[in-house]
Amino acid sequence: MLKKKLLALFVSAMMVLSLAGCTTPQNAQAKTQTQAVQVNQKTQVAQAKPVQTQSKPVTKPAAKPAATPATTGKLVISFIDVGQGDSILVQAPSGKTMLVDAGVPEMGSRVVSYIRSRNVKKIDVLVATHPHNDHIGGMPDVINSLGIGSVYMPKASTNTYSFEKLLTTIKHKGLTVKTAKAGVVLDLGSGITAKMLAPNSTYYDDLNNYSAVIKITYGKTSFLLTGDAEVQSEQEMLKAGYDLKADVLKIGHHGSAYSTSLAFLNAVKPKYAVISVGKNNDYGHPAQVTMNRLKYYKIPVYRTDENGTIVATSDSKTITFNVKPGDYTPGNKSGSTNTSSSKPSTSTVQSLPYGYYGEPGKVYVDSSGRGLIKGNINSKGEKIYHIPGDPWYDRTKAERWFKTEAEAQAAGFRPPKK
């Protein structure tokens, strides 16, 4: 009886997946061939429920996987579909577990149910990347329902109900909070390393930049989980000289235009991108500019609004996904829900720091087809390019001319800092 039900769920989930899939198997194959990593569709998990908007409380737990794949010797990372928000379950080869964020409060029970469906009873490392509702809201449910080892949070506070409730829940359970900051090493057992690369400063204007950024390395494979870190934090990570290169990049801030700067993307050089984002969210996530960049670099994108829960499995050499990549369609702003505490997209892309926000493939040429982007090597030997209209453009001597930002970056030039 139960088996039948699960089977039916699985079949319908497969149908949803095949309907929602935006690439044909051939396309997917062609894509993955260039990445030299295979997408294994056999491990599909029946988690793909239509994405729920965040305003609706979730009473029903998420569908359980029809079969829990064995994790022995494998690193399994689940990007749980929590609508607009983040929640990422990491199951290390050692059996240790980490949960990074838990979505909005209404998603708490879904997150707990998903974790249990993976036969996990204890979260060894719980990370609240930053104190925004769409990341910590569901955390009290997780803390109250499961065993918890260490809790990490950045030294940032806010006066929201979600934040107060999280602190109370942590206290009631007798847990203490360790500070999430760059350099912290997380214990996920042998054979795997997990290290925080951000936050690098003690104060930020924007809570998003307090986001704990975690790099997980297992054998030859690596994952970079960025929370809602924005360009300021990205610049700090670049400046600190960390090895940012990762096979899978959890795109920052739900694909917002304020994250995933070109310089950062070029340093990470991901083979795959994952975006945790709700369908028809109020913020227009993921942003057009972010999707343009990912498309330009032909990075397959897995997104929870199209794929549901995304499960990436590493055997230390190869990473496989339970679903096919989604498409590069940006979010629209027609959504009617608004419970996330992320920054509303009222500012325009024009107000962002220039340079980082040009589209890599955008062509700057004069009427004779000559490139207009100036490549300058300054007195320190730094190779910096300037696009027409930036404050230094007219004062800059061009050693090289480029037609696109991508061309300039390929030649080793970077955008100006500010």
Interface positions, 352-411, toward Zn ion (CB under 5 A)? none
Residue 225 three-state SS? strand
What's the closest the beta carbon of residue 3 comes to Zn ion, in angstroms?
37
CB of 134 to Zn ion, least distance (A): 4
C-beta of 229 vs 408, nearer to Zn ion: 229
Nearer to Zn ion, 93 or 227 (CB): 227
Shortest distance, CB of residue 133 to Zn ion, whole angstroms?
8
Binding flag, residue 230, Zn ion (CB under 5 A)? no
| Cβ neighbours, 10 Å, residue 389 | 11
Pick the piece of the chain touching Zn ion (CB under 5 A) from 13-21, 235-243, 324-332, 339-347: 339-347
Per the CB < 8 A criterion, the answer to whether 171 and 120 are in contact is no
- Cα torsion 292, 296, 297, 299 to 10°: value is 60
CB atoms < 10 A from the CB of 263, how many?
Answer: 17
Least distance from Zn ion to the Cβ atom of residue 118, Å? 23
Binders of Zn ion among residues 340 to 359 (CB under 5 A) are: 342
Q: Which of 228, 236, 247, 407 binds Zn ion (CB under 5 A)?
A: 228
Point out which span in 15-23, 157-165, 221-229, 279-287 binds Zn ion (CB under 5 A).
Answer: 221-229
Give dist(CA 337, CA 318) in Å, integer. 38
- The residue among 134 and 305 lying less far from Zn ion, judged by its C-beta, is 134
DSSP string, 349-399: GGGSPSSTTS-TT---B-TT--B-EEEEE-TT--EEEE-TTSTTGGGPPPS
Token pair 């569709």 is at which residue? 41
Name residues contacting Zn ion, limited to 115-154 (CB under 5 A): 134
Q: Which is nearer to Zn ion, 221 or 276 (CB)?
A: 276
Best CA proximity match to 66, nearest among 18, 120, 13, 19: 13
The smaller minimum CB distance to Zn ion, of residues 226 and 314, is found at 226
Integer Cα distance of 117 and 139 in angstroms = 17
State the residues that interact with Zn ion by CB under 5 A: 134, 228, 342
